[in-house]
Amino acid sequence: MSYTEEIRNLQETDKKFIWHPFTQMKDWVAEKPLIIIEGRDCFLKDIHGKWYIDGVSSLWVNVHGHRRKEVDDAIRQQLDKIAHSTLLGLSNAPSIKLAEKLIELSPKSSDIDTQYPSLTKVFYSDNGSTSVEVALKMAFQYWKHKGIKEKKSFLSLKNAYHGDTIGAVSVGGIDIFHEIFEPLLFKTFKSPSPYCYRCEFGETYPECSLHCLAVMQDILNQDADKIAAVIVEPMVQGAGGMIVYPDFYLKGVRELCDKYNILLIADEVATGFGRTGKMFACEHEQISPDLLCLSKGITNGYLPLAATITTEEIFNVFLGEYSELKTFFHGHSYTGNPLACSAAVACLDIFEKDETLKNLQPKISLLQKRLNDFSKLKHVGEARNKGFMTGIELVKDKDTKEPYPLEAKIGWKVIHKAREMGVIIRPLGNVIVIMPPLCISEENLIQLLDVIEKSIIFATEEGK
């Protein structure tokens, strides 16, 4: 079989057997699948030998670049010992070392008189959705053990995305993803999204005095006795369209949770591990949640791993005699997998060795400067970012903010043009997402942004 025939065979076999996530398969089978065979630094190579800039970090998971030697070596060394053993009734060295590192790095409160203590306990799972499921179940069971059985619902935000398992979807708020599953979901309270560009109240920040937060307070004032926890994506609603919170919103949510005796779940699956310019997004407003959900960048994108981190107070409520059945009855086959935990330890060591967050700041400044230029384009409604989490919202009419209709597929037109020019990105509807590995050089970042700018102009002005 020739190499050309091998490529054709792989493409046809893909179409025959694989059902791709978040992909309209009718469109997929009509195209030639892009098959990736290699990665290095911030680049990916396809089966034809063409290299691309990985503009979305392979779905927001790669932090330090592909084929990072330290992570490769950590996994190889662990393979010489053991690949997996359960955490149900046993433990392993990599999971212990990683837990200690996560606690050391976890967000701390700036308020020395705070009512909520530091995060101290790590519960492992295997992906972002499951880390959220763990947090929801912990919060529910926490109040049950405390004898407050009425607290069994949750408050989340419109435009929220917390994963695709049933509990995570129940606290989600994106109709295009979640509405079809409504009959399967448990009921939750929904608060307005802090989406300033499309404020549902028609107001402008900061003159609005955070009207959206005031609505959350109204909900809590009326129904706090029913709500176990508030769950938010700190500082940025990722899959909702890279919606960046206004200043003091997150701090206000923490204060409301304190006031109404409600737990705060911070879903940092997407925002954690440097994506917003700090290790965790909660640090921007110096708050600490009661439960912290982590995944994606935790292993540099090498292996599935997640962690739900909580406080001593919550942990202690689950302690009791065996016969009391206070145990947290939840777990996964690959909980605390030694290979994944070894990769995660190496990933966190690189942050310190490379001074990743310090070296990221000039690149964030470069990005922000270029986004100001993007904002001047005819069909860019808003170009927004928090650190390296960036969304460019395309609109049909800039003055009225009229969105492009779904059938225009404007986001897909942009990314296909970018792919022709050697950049891989993914849209969220009409929002073009930029989230490269943190290690990307300034030279490659400029190239990435140049391609995206040309692609937007082509799709919205020249090639329509």
The Cα–Cα gap between 108 and 356 comes to 20
Instruction: Please report, to the nearest 10 degrees, the dihedral formed by the alpha carbons of residues 62, 66, 69, 72 taken in order.
Output: 80
Q: What's the average model confidence in pLDDT over 7-35?
A: 94
- CB contact at 8 A, 364 and 386: no
Q: Is the pLDDT of residue 143 over 90?
A: yes
Q: How confident is the model at residue 179 (pLDDT cuts 50, 70, 90)?
A: very high
The Cα–Cα gap between 66 and 342 comes to 16
* Bigger pLDDT: 111 vs 398: 398
The Cα–Cα gap between 33 and 387 comes to 32
Q: What is the pLDDT of residues 426-451, one digit of tens each?
A: 999 999 999 999 999 999 999 999 99
- CB contact at 8 A, 452 and 423: yes
Q: Is the pLDDT of residue 383 over 90?
A: yes
- With a CB cutoff of 8 Å and minimum separation 6, the contacts of 453 are 370, 373, 374, 377
- Report pLDDT for 463: 61
Residue 132, amino acid: V
- Determine phi and psi for 419, rounding to 5 degrees: -65, -40
Q: How confident is the model at residue 464 (pLDDT cuts 50, 70, 90)?
A: low
Nearest to 264 by CA among 234, 285, 236, 238: 234
Q: Which two tokens stand for residue 304?
A: 């599935």
Q: Is the pLDDT of residue 112 over 50?
A: no
**Which of helix, strand or coil describes residue 182?**
helix
34-64+355-462 has CATH 3.90.1150.10 classification: yes
Q: Which two tokens stand for residue 347?
A: 């990933």
- Report pLDDT for 319: 97
Q: How confident is the model at residue 2 (pLDDT cuts 50, 70, 90)?
A: confident
Q: What is the pLDDT of residues 28-76, one digit of tens each?
A: 999 989 999 999 999 999 999 999 999 999 999 999 999 999 999 999 9
Helix, strand, coil content of the chain in percent (nearest 5) = 45, 15, 40
Report percent pLDDT > 70 for the chain: 97
Cβ neighbours, 10 Å, residue 183: 5
Q: Which residue has the tokens 């992570």?
A: 71
**Residue 245 DSSP symbol:** P
Q: Which two tokens stand for residue 286?
A: 């110096």
Q: Which residue has the tokens 């880390």?
A: 131
- How high is the mean pLDDT of the chain? 96
- CB contact at 8 A, 370 and 436: no
Q: What's the average model confidence in pLDDT over 276-295?
A: 97
Residue 178, amino acid: H
Q: Which two tokens stand for residue 74?
A: 């950590």
Q: What is the pLDDT of residues 354-363, one digit of tens each?
A: 999 999 999 9
**Residue 299 DSSP symbol:** G
Ranges of each domain in the chain: 34-64+355-462, 76-353
Q: What's the average model confidence in pLDDT over 405-411?
A: 95
Alpha helices in 323-386 (DSSP H): 338-353, 356-374
Q: Which residue has the tokens 């640090």?
A: 283
At the topology level, CATH places domain 76-353 in Aspartate Aminotransferase; domain 2 (3.40.640)
Q: What is the pLDDT of residues 185-203, one digit of tens each?
A: 999 999 999 999 999 999 9
- 143 strand-pairing partners: none
Q: At what angle do helices 211-223 and 249-259 cross, to 10 degrees?
A: 10
- CB contact at 8 A, 292 and 268: yes
